[in-house]
Structure 1
Amino acid sequence: MAGENNKMASAAEAPPRLRAAAAPPDHLTAPSLATPFKLDEGYSDETKGQLERDLSDPPSNDVMTLPDWLLAHSETDRAELAYSLLRTLRHSTLNAIVDRVAPLLHMDFVLKLPPEITSEIFSYLDSRTLLTASLSSRSWRNRIFDSRLWRDLYIDEGWRVNIDAVRAFEDEHSNLNLASPQSRKSRLRHADTDDGEPKQKKRVPPTWLDSRDQGLLDEAQRVAGEADPEGDHLMSDASNQLPGSGDRNGSQSETSSVMKSNGNSPYTPRSSPISSPSASTILLRMPNGTAKINWLYLYRQRRRLEENWAKGRYTNFQLPHRSHMDECHLDYVYAIQFSGRWLVSGSRDRSLRVWDMHTQRLRYPPLMGHSQSVLCLQCDPSPEEDIVISGGGDKKVIVWRLSTGEKIQEIAPAHDDSVLNLRFDKRFLVTSSKDKLIKVWNRQLLLPTSKDYPQIHHGIGVTYPSYIVDTNQLPSPLLEAEIAANHIQTLAPYHLLMTLAGHGTAVNAIQMNENEIVSVSGDRLIKIWNLHNGTCKRTLIGHEKGIACVQSDGRRIVSGSNDNTVRIFDHASSAEVATLRGHKNLVRTVQAVFGDPPGAEETMRLEALAVDNRFFDAQRSGASVDLGPRAMRRAGHHQNTSGSRHPRDIKALGAQIPPGGGGSRWARIVSGSYDESVVIWKKDKKGQWVVSQKLSQRAAADSAATPTTNREARHRASAALARAAAAAAAAQGVDQNAPGQRRHQIHRTPSSRVFKVQFDARKIVCASEDPLIVGWDFAGPDEDLMEVSRFFTDV
């Protein structure tokens, strides 16, 4: 033993000679350590590495103290000596050393970097990667479960949030002591600065999450509420005894107790692999007592809701409630609109009815003011507006107070024929009619100096009343003098500003989008108008028959037609980018949401440019890509126009959006048709539109109540209609639709041609020839989804 100690001392005194004498054969020599490998820790070169810090730190009790003369040697010499020593050890000892050295070779950046930097790093990952990464360690889990990170991820999915409802909910619970005695704790470093608008940020493209990912979301929600000793702040979850829980349960009892999944098979939400979490996790409580919404919880619940849409899991409901069928409309329901708790419907029975969707009852007696069918309406329940505006076959437009049912104003006649559609914002009311005209009215007191005062256009297609002056022809001092002398009229609300002419037949539908009007007609044309001067900016052609409905979001125009198709057009270039075929009759109503994520406009422009370039490359290679549709069919190729990007399927070039219209993976279109169906369209993994669900109004009505109840309701509605028609005929006030009424009297059970559908993040509501209004609730009867749905808006 003494001899071995002497040898070690000699080796320590003269390490170069020891290395030379003990050098192994060439094939056993370790790689040179002259240039040691250094881990990039994300800092500058001046920062000490982990090994350097360990050497400079005071030695711990379980580490041998090295003499100064040994540490005085260069790092290269020390490395060679260490390697020589290691070669003298057994494998088991080497393995133990490797286990001790391994932590020195790796750095957990989550522990080393500031939270702001790690949050920025994680923000570039999609939810699937984040949930997988959260399994790495407790520190990663804590940082990944930061509520602000999931708020940004929620918005980046293209989902929207009702930020007013979120803030009101937080304020309501901030001063309440809702923490349960056995409170679980969760971490949130800073108070969220909630913003419902998307923020620009580059992200890794998201991928589909499978059922395994949903399990990770479940696990994430479970552990997010556990004790977290490493968090910067500690918060306790709010109690699940939230105010209004009784109302939620009561609301559930008003709907059908049977949930449907992929057709008519009963579905129990708890049987789903997606387990339902405790309602207490909806809130996170800060140390100062304020409450914040848990965005991880919101994200998870929104994913569950979207899965219900994808798999056809819903509960049917009807208006009125089956116990109060005497409140039902007496004839066709042509128009509906709902917002929050209230739904307004207009019918061929000449009435408007305002429904409380929580109780499925009328808010007050029907509004009677039209002498013929109520064909269109729009409502705004906000406190500053609180109005409903309706138009009918009697050529009238009537303004009502939504909260009371009071008639505020009547424009009679607004047109020379039936008012088919109307739209309004805070500035203008726009109406369209069977008389082929579009009219624009002011909604506020309007001075000639106002920016909303009409800008006279000297050309065809637009006319102005005599009291509208061309303010551009008057110098400012003269204009002010004329106003002061009352020579120029100040316009009270609901004065006609301009009349737009250009369609060849009835203008069936219109949409307002900022400073534009989009109109469609039986003449197969879509027209875009300037709202301020009435000029026609563009005309879009594509449908083969008359167009019945339209929607525009400023990037796309979606329309439904008598050619049985739904078509999507690029707003900027007028190019048709998709044709959806799935109906067998007139598409009467359509609504679409595309859920554009942040930065979508530039992304879609580049995608569209890539499609064009691929087309030109195929053309230069000699491929048959520039043939017309008929020539393509003769050649044996049927174009896929539902969003395919294959060069042979491209219908137009130069668009600013890609085939299919772009949008997020959660994009959705719902269309209703005279074939008595409601179709939910979604995108497949290739980005092409496919039929996700085909719903039946009649089946929904039968599911929402017992068949006997509905038959009795329809019989009462038909009998009441017959009495009303007889009374009207006796008074010589027969409706122009009297032939239809006679048919309705003959066929006691109404058909279910769909006139109007509307949907939000949670439900679809449908109006048809049936006096019953029916709906599909994709949250019910799951109480957790019903609770959080108030915070969700369209994608």
Structure 2
Amino acid sequence: MQTLPTQCFLDLAYQLLASLPRARLATIQRRLAPLLQFDVVGSLPAEVSLQIFSYLPFPALLNCALVCRRWTILANDQALWKNLCDGRGWSWRQPSFKYPPAFTQSGLDAWNDSDDEGMGDSDEEAEEEELDSGFASMSFAGDEQVIASTSSNAFAPAPSRNRVSVYPPPNNKVYSSSSKKLATARPRAAARHSAPSLLSSVSSSSSSKPNYKLLHQTQIKLQKRILTSSYRLSALQTRGAPTNSHTNTIYCLQLYTYPSSGAQVLFTGSRDKTVREWNLSTGLVERVIGGIHTSSVLSICVYNGILASAGSDRKVVVWDLERNKVMKVISDHEDSVLCVRFDEKRLVSCSKDRTVRTYLFPDLEPQFVLSAHRAAVNAVSISKTLIVSGSGDRSIRLWDANTGKSLRTFENHHSRGIASIDFKPPYVLSGSSDKHLRLFDITTLQGWSTSPDHDTLSGSVSHGLGQAVLCQTCGNSGLVTLGGGGRQGPGNVHKNVLHRDLVRSVAFGDEFVLSGSYDLSIKVWDRRTGALVADLSGGHTGRIFCIGFDCTKVVSCGEDQRICIWDFAHGFDTSFINL
């Protein structure tokens, strides 16, 4: 028998099987099936298997975990999920389980469905229409009437994020676009938006060991909530409440996470001449910074333990938050300072006097005066060696921070004055008094806009370093005009999803960009396509002056003295997310 060829054995086996009844064949088939299945990945060394799985996207990993026990162990390996989190810039923060002091609701008004800088009521005509600043004239504290304008919150949502519900107003509402109805949340003692998650008891996040799969799935869940407009709306401040709150219009805000403790707070600047620091866990003011500005605080920037504030008193004040004292007062501008930004190396400010000024740390000695704009410079942003400024002259200018030279000028970037900008190289996001926003790649001249009119605008791009001049019509180099709404494709412009008034504040995120407008709404757009993914309204009764956001919430302030928090993390723990 052993000398017979293999084919003879195959033929013999087949004939034997063919002679059996069908029921017996089915039994043999079930017994043979495991012998025919071979788990190649599972049979490899774990290191090799993990290397194979490392090329899979997260949905595929979740499916792999359902195959068998061996694959479950491999697909749940923390190294795989850490790599996925690292690729998205998501990091684990060891949560602290110290509960905050008891919070009382006495300072909060009931919330009914009945806020980087801004101004109060408009009581004058805009300046010259040809060089309009992007804002209406506003009256500040004091006797004189000033036309002021500032940029959007340049806080880049990439470095900050988190917090949970700690103090729901009596009529706390949960919104979801899936039902398009309001569901009244069951009131909970001491439970509010997601300013840190404090409602966790013994959860998977309580372990001292990071759970990167949990981190990744939580981030994905937060993104889905944004896409479905599932949020809880609450007010950190309403007019006159809580005690020790701002007493006038709130122009600017920024979320800030202290590096040493990981605690996230909110800084706000107001027409009452003060900057206030809010504890997002308790909803109370923890610090009032005042006594230096003699008029409205129009812009703030917080970074690395330092706060800079700019005001209509023409001052830029730099504060040391740890020592709680003034580091320097700068009074070089000749008119209202509309925006201030800084990084590790330099501070940049812009003004109604049409200039941008730069100062070098640590002494903050003057460096450059950039004076090419023809109208008020409403917004400025900085990223390493590049400075971007936006003006009422409708242009955006790109500067070399090290030399002060103008690198590029984007004329007629909007059809009216530019009110706000945010900069994340190579992209510039801008909002304008033409009611539109625009995302633009300064290297490829491609991007998207909510305006259908860019095709007819003459947008020249000039280089200031002796290079050839590029002249292109805005939109002719890959610019897509979008109307948003239901994540529709390019070219579908629907007026009902666009802003109906000046876009006062814009902010960059990794997946989304946000815009806040005088039309009392905040809109969330897909960063890549420009499609509208969420429309947040009902929070403000006055114009929105500033917005900020992280992966768990959106915050806004405005002329109605409200600070609104749109919480997308309600109901689950986010204390382990590094904001």
Q: Provide TM-score, normalisation by structure 1.
A: 0.53
Measured at CA, do residues 424 and 363 of structure 1 come closer, stay the same or move farther in structure 2, by a change above 3 Å?
same
Give me the whole-angstrom Cα distance separating, in 2, the residues matched to 1:406 and 1:142. 53
Unaligned segments of structure 2, at least 5 residues = 105-163, 188-198, 258-263, 453-471, 494-507
Give me the whole-angstrom Cα distance separating, in 2, the residues matched to 1:693 and 1:629. 25
What residue in structure 2 maps to residue 36 of structure 1?
none
1:560 to 428, 431, 436: 431
**Equivalent AA in structure 2 for residue 253 of structure 1:** V
Deviation at 1:579, TM superposition (A): 0.9
Larger helix fraction of residues: 1
1:255 to 164, 168, 184: 168
Q: Which has the higher contact order (CA 8 A, sep 6+)?
A: 2
Q: Which moved more, 1:762-771 or 1:519-528?
A: 762-771
**Equivalent AA in structure 2 for residue 243 of structure 1:** F
What residue in structure 2 maps to residue 661 of structure 1?
none
The answer on 1:676 being equivalent to 2:520 is: yes
Deviation at 1:567, TM superposition (A): 0.5
The answer on 1:358 being equivalent to 2:148 is: no
Give me the whole-angstrom Cα distance separating, in 2, the residues matched to 1:146 and 1:87. 47
The answer on 1:787 being equivalent to 2:575 is: yes
Tell me the alpha carbon deviations over residues 461-511 of structure 1, each in whole angstroms, 9 at most, x when there is no partner. Answer: xxxxxxxxxxxxxxxxxxxxxxxxxxxxxxxx0110111121111111011
What residue in structure 2 maps to residue 500 of structure 1?
370
> Superposed, which structure 2 residues align to 1:54-73 within 5 Å?
70-73=1-4
What residue in structure 2 maps to residue 447 of structure 1?
none
Measured at CA, do residues 245 and 93 of structure 1 come closer, stay the same or move farther in structure 2, by a change above 3 Å?
farther
What residue in structure 2 maps to residue 460 of structure 1?
none
User: Is the Cα contact below 8 Å between 2:483 and 2:491 reproduced in 1?
Assistant: no
Give me the whole-angstrom Cα distance separating, in 2, the residues matched to 1:127 and 1:267. 34
Measured at CA, do residues 248 and 551 of structure 1 come closer, stay the same or move farther in structure 2, by a change above 3 Å?
farther
1:151 to 76, 82, 99: 82
Give me the whole-angstrom Cα distance separating, in 2, the residues matched to 1:107 and 1:665. 45
The answer on 1:344 being equivalent to 2:267 is: yes
**Equivalent AA in structure 1 for residue 253 of structure 2:** I
**Equivalent AA in structure 1 for residue 317 of structure 2:** I
What residue in structure 1 maps to residue 536 of structure 2?
695
Measured at CA, do residues 665 and 516 of structure 1 come closer, stay the same or move farther in structure 2, by a change above 3 Å?
closer
The answer on 1:578 being equivalent to 2:419 is: no
Q: Which moved more, 1:363-372 or 1:533-542?
A: 363-372
1:760 to 537, 545, 550: 550
Mark the structure with the bigger radius of gyration. 1
User: Is the Cα contact below 8 Å between 2:238 and 2:562 reproduced in 1?
Assistant: no
The answer on 1:539 being equivalent to 2:414 is: no
2:232 to 307, 315, 336: 315
Measured at CA, do residues 138 and 277 of structure 1 come closer, stay the same or move farther in structure 2, by a change above 3 Å?
farther
**Secondary structure of 1:345 counterpart:** strand
> Superposed, which structure 2 residues align to 1:78-117 within 5 Å?
78-117=9-48
Give me the whole-angstrom Cα distance separating, in 1, the residues matched to 2:78 and 2:249. 48
Give me the whole-angstrom Cα distance separating, in 2, the residues matched to 1:248 and 1:777. 21
**Secondary structure of 2:334 counterpart:** coil
Tell me the alpha carbon deviations over residues 562-586 of structure 1, each in whole angstroms, 9 at most, x when there is no partner. Answer: 111000111213x24211259xxxx
Give me the whole-angstrom Cα distance separating, in 1, the residues matched to 2:510 and 2:231. 18
Give me the whole-angstrom Cα distance separating, in 1, the residues matched to 2:57 and 2:102. 33
**Equivalent AA in structure 2 for residue 377 of structure 1:** I
**Equivalent AA in structure 2 for residue 694 of structure 1:** D
Tell me the alpha carbon deviations over residues 514-569 of structure 1, each in whole angstroms, 9 at most, x when there is no partner. Answer: 11000100001011100000111111233111001111111211100111100011
**Equivalent AA in structure 1 for residue 535 of structure 2:** K
**Secondary structure of 1:135 counterpart:** coil
**Equivalent AA in structure 1 for residue 573 of structure 2:** L
Tell me the alpha carbon deviations over residues 144-171 of structure 1, each in whole angstroms, 9 at most, x when there is no partner. Answer: 2222222233444x3x2245x35xx5xx
**Secondary structure of 2:13 counterpart:** helix
> Superposed, which structure 2 residues align to 1:205-224 within 5 Å?
none
User: Is the Cα contact below 8 Å between 1:565 and 1:581 reproduced in 2?
Assistant: yes
Measured at CA, do residues 323 and 779 of structure 1 come closer, stay the same or move farther in structure 2, by a change above 3 Å?
farther
User: Is the Cα contact below 8 Å between 2:341 and 2:348 reproduced in 1?
Assistant: yes
**Equivalent AA in structure 2 for residue 342 of structure 1:** V
Measured at CA, do residues 404 and 629 of structure 1 come closer, stay the same or move farther in structure 2, by a change above 3 Å?
closer
**Secondary structure of 1:368 counterpart:** coil
Q: Which moved more, 1:361-370 or 1:126-135?
A: 126-135
What residue in structure 1 maps to residue 98 of structure 2?
244
What residue in structure 1 maps to residue 250 of structure 2?
333
**Equivalent AA in structure 2 for residue 409 of structure 1:** K
Deviation at 1:245, TM superposition (A): 5.2
What residue in structure 2 maps to residue 513 of structure 1?
383
Larger strand fraction of residues: 2
User: Is the Cα contact below 8 Å between 1:334 and 1:767 reproduced in 2?
Assistant: yes
Deviation at 1:351, TM superposition (A): 1.4
Give me the whole-angstrom Cα distance separating, in 2, the residues matched to 1:304 and 1:692. 15
Measured at CA, do residues 627 and 677 of structure 1 come closer, stay the same or move farther in structure 2, by a change above 3 Å?
closer
What residue in structure 2 maps to residue 523 of structure 1?
393
What residue in structure 1 maps to residue 328 of structure 2?
409
Measured at CA, do residues 389 and 264 of structure 1 come closer, stay the same or move farther in structure 2, by a change above 3 Å?
farther
Give me the whole-angstrom Cα distance separating, in 2, the residues matched to 1:646 and 1:323. 45
What residue in structure 1 maps to residue 422 of structure 2?
551
Tell me the alpha carbon deviations over residues 276-299 of structure 1, each in whole angstroms, 9 at most, x when there is no partner. Answer: 998522256xxxxxx421122222
User: Is the Cα contact below 8 Å between 2:483 and 2:531 reproduced in 1?
Assistant: no
Deviation at 1:676, TM superposition (A): 1.8
Give me the whole-angstrom Cα distance separating, in 2, the residues matched to 1:355 and 1:364. 7
What residue in structure 2 maps to residue 161 of structure 1?
90
2:312 to 393, 410, 413: 393
What is the percentage of aligned positions where both structures have the same residue? 28
Give me the whole-angstrom Cα distance separating, in 1, the residues matched to 2:237 and 2:509. 35
Deviation at 1:400, TM superposition (A): 1.4
Deviation at 1:644, TM superposition (A): 8.5
**Secondary structure of 1:689 counterpart:** coil
- The count of residues paired between Structure 1 and Structure 2 equals 460
Tell me the alpha carbon deviations over residues 24-52 of structure 1, each in whole angstroms, 9 at most, x when there is no partner. Answer: xxxxxxxxxxxxxxxxxxxxxxxxxxxxx
2:69 to 118, 124, 138: 138
**Secondary structure of 1:520 counterpart:** strand
**Secondary structure of 2:246 counterpart:** coil
What residue in structure 2 maps to residue 30 of structure 1?
none
Measured at CA, do residues 318 and 406 of structure 1 come closer, stay the same or move farther in structure 2, by a change above 3 Å?
farther
> Superposed, which structure 2 residues align to 1:460-471 within 5 Å?
none
**Equivalent AA in structure 1 for residue 397 of structure 2:** K
**Secondary structure of 2:165 counterpart:** helix
> Superposed, which structure 2 residues align to 1:639-788 within 5 Å?
640=482, 667-682=511-526, 688-696=529-537, 699-700=538-539, 752-780=542-570, 782=571, 784-788=572-576
Give me the whole-angstrom Cα distance separating, in 1, the residues matched to 2:338 and 2:314. 9
Deviation at 1:91, TM superposition (A): 2.7
Measured at CA, do residues 647 and 345 of structure 1 come closer, stay the same or move farther in structure 2, by a change above 3 Å?
closer
**Secondary structure of 2:282 counterpart:** coil
User: Please, what is the CA RMSD of the aligned residues?
Assistant: 3.4
User: Is the Cα contact below 8 Å between 2:516 and 2:522 reproduced in 1?
Assistant: yes
The answer on 1:425 being equivalent to 2:269 is: no
**Equivalent AA in structure 2 for residue 547 of structure 1:** I
**Secondary structure of 2:450 counterpart:** strand
User: Is the Cα contact below 8 Å between 1:511 and 1:517 reproduced in 2?
Assistant: yes
User: Is the Cα contact below 8 Å between 1:441 and 1:497 reproduced in 2?
Assistant: yes
Give me the whole-angstrom Cα distance separating, in 1, the residues matched to 2:473 and 2:327. 58
User: Is the Cα contact below 8 Å between 1:578 and 1:641 reproduced in 2?
Assistant: no
Tell me the alpha carbon deviations over residues 314-368 of structure 1, each in whole angstroms, 9 at most, x when there is no partner. Answer: 2233334899533221221111111132222111121121222222212134422
Measured at CA, do residues 142 and 759 of structure 1 come closer, stay the same or move farther in structure 2, by a change above 3 Å?
same
Measured at CA, do residues 753 and 246 of structure 1 come closer, stay the same or move farther in structure 2, by a change above 3 Å?
closer
